[in-house]
Structures are given as structure tokens and as C-alpha cells.
Amino acid sequence: MSAFRFAHFSDPHLPLAPDRLSGRGFFTKQLLSYLSWQRKKRHVHQPAVLDCLLADIQAAAPDHIACTGDIANISWPGEFQRGRDWLARVGPPQQVSYIPGNHDAMVPAPFAQGLGLWRDYMQGDRPPAPDAPLPDGLFPALRRRGPVAFIGLNSGVPTAPLLATGRLGTAQVEALGDMLADLARERLFRVVMVHHPVAPGVVRRRKGLSDAAALRHLLARTGAEMLLHGHAHRASLAMLKGPNGLIPSLTVPSASAIRHGRYPAAQWNLVTVDTDGGGWRVQVEVRGYDGAGAMRTVDGYTLLLPWA
Ligand SMILES: [Fe+2]
């Protein structure tokens, strides 16, 4: 097997302007998030940083690109349309896998004018049945690429103001269990993508995944080779319990962020998957924004993981 290389980035938070919240119905939660954007976040999330990161990924020419949510900020209709145009710049749907974040599902929205505009980047190789409810019917979304199986989950659910929790629901967790068990028999490198962190303590409770314990319990039984998540806006490598050893769970800072407070500037990971004797050899190169218009390698490590 030749090595397979994929990029992981997250939380691009495209600029909100020029949308205005006047003249149309909106939710209190959207208004609060809009004010937060105007007051603080628009200074943190900069298009020039995101462009720089994207150019760096494209220069690396990975075999696949995974993005773990939060293109949007307040789930405003214009954000979905601009998000679609932006995804087209990232790459074709076959080469780019996306899952929704909490900012993409902040309030209930019609699928066709909301997440549906990004469907090509989210759905699995096998489309859902025509009568399946959407977006739920899209997930878990399985995409096979070389030796890697990317499995997208949807943890984005509307929540009360000041909460940023996520939830998968029993049906999605159970379907994931069946999928992971089948893929283990094929000896594929199973990458589970979920916006909210699954390991305890990565984010505060008001931002956490409400059924994370159920997912950890499932993973301890079925295993997976890697988890990718977003939401934390900082780099993290946590380990989850699997049936044969530990499962690495990785995230990166927001792809558009300058350094602010305790949060680092934008980063992305280049993950190279190869076989090594009786298991997987995984190299992670961490690329970070240098604060002056360029990306450079800021960290790197190798993981040796057992076969399923
Ligand atoms: Fe985010």
C-alpha cells in the first residue's frame, strides 16, 4: 500500500458581513451571536488567514481534505450560499469531506436553503434513500478513499442561547456501531469525524457533546483508528479507549484565527497513513500560521496503531 495523505482543518468561520439582521425574522440566539461577531469575533477570524491556510493545504496536494464544521457563524441564509461558493474553492466534493458544526445548525432552518447547499460535501458514497429525513438521513456518512474510511457524523443541533452543546442521538450512534464493525473486517483506517470533542475535559460542559459517553462506550467496543473534531479552537491530542489500544482524537485551532488570548493562530494537520508491519504508522505534521502571512511546520509526531 502506498501512503495516503489527508489534510484536516476546522472551524473556518467565514466572515459574516455584509448580512444584516434587519427586515427578516431571526432568533434571539442568532442576535446574540451576531452581536458577539460584531464586537469580537470579526477581529479574530480573518479571511486573509484562511486564504493562507487553504493555499498551504493546496500546495501540499493531499489525497483528501477533511473539515470538521463551522463554516457559518449564526446559520443565516446568506452564510450557506457563501459557504457553498467557498467549499468549491477548497476542492471538488469527491475530494473534500465536511460535517456540520453547531454554528451551522444554530437554529432550525429549511434543509434546501441551509445545510442542503453543502450536501455534496457531506453525503456518503451511497446516497440516502429518497424518502429519508434530511439532514439526519445523510449521517453517518461513509466515504472510502484508498485505505481510509472517512465517517462523517452530525452533532449540530439547535440549542438555547449561551449553550453550544451537541448531540448525536441513539439512531446515529447505533448506525455508526454497525458501520465501524463492518469496516474493521475490511481492515480500513477508520476516521470518525464529529464537530464536538468526544474525550472528556477538552471543552466546558456548556459546549460539550451530551451523548459523548455513549459514543466513547461504543468506540471501546468497535474501535476506530482516529477521531477528528473541531469546536475547541485550539490544538488537542486526546486518547480514547479502544478494544485493542488507544484511539487518537485530534483537533486544530480555527482555520481563520489570528492568535488571541489563550487561543493560538490557525493550524491544520497533514496526516500520512501507512502500514508498518502488523499495524498502522501515522505521521502528523502540524502547520501553523506565523502571524505574518505565511504557514510553517510547528509540530509533528508519529503514532503506531494496531490493526483492528
Ligand atoms: Fe467554531
Convert the pLDDT of each residue in 194-209 to its tens digit. 999 999 999 998 999 9
Contact criterion met (CB below 8 Å) for 49 and 287: no
- Give the CA distances from residue 206 to residues 3, 108, 164, 278, in Å, rounded to whole numbers and listed in that order: 39, 20, 6, 41
Question: What is the pLDDT at residue 278?
Answer: 86
What is the Å distance from ligand 1's center to 229 Cα? 10
Find the domain containing 120 and state its range: 10-16+25-268+280-306
What is the Å distance from ligand 1's center to 236 Cα? 14
Helices marked H in the chain = 28-36, 42-44, 47-60, 77-90, 119-122, 170-185, 212-222
CA distance linking residue 155 with residue 195, whole number of Å? 6
Position 238 in a domain: yes
CA distance linking residue 178 with residue 215, whole number of Å? 13
Residue 31, pLDDT above cutoff 90: no
Report, in angstroms and rounded to the nearest whole number, the Rg of the chain calculated over CA atoms. Answer: 18
Nearest CA to 65 out of 6, 2, 142, 137 is that of: 6
Element (H, E) at 66: strand 64-67
Contact criterion met (CB below 8 Å) for 79 and 115: no
Count of domains observed in the chain: 1
What is the Å distance from ligand 1's center to 103 Cα? 7
Position 224 in a domain: yes
CATH of residue 160: 3.60.21.10
Going by C-beta distance under 8 Å and a sequence separation of 6 or more, which residues neighbour residue 302? 281, 282, 283, 284
Position 219 in a domain: yes
What is the Å distance from ligand 1's center to 170 Cα? 24
Check: pTM over 0.85? Answer yes or no.
yes
The mean pLDDT of 82-110, rounded to a whole number, is: 96
Residue 215, pLDDT above cutoff 60: yes
pLDDT in tens, 41-87: 999 999 999 999 999 999 999 999 999 999 999 999 899 999 999 99
Position 274 in a domain: no
Position 4 in a domain: no
Question: What is the pLDDT at residue 19?
Answer: 59
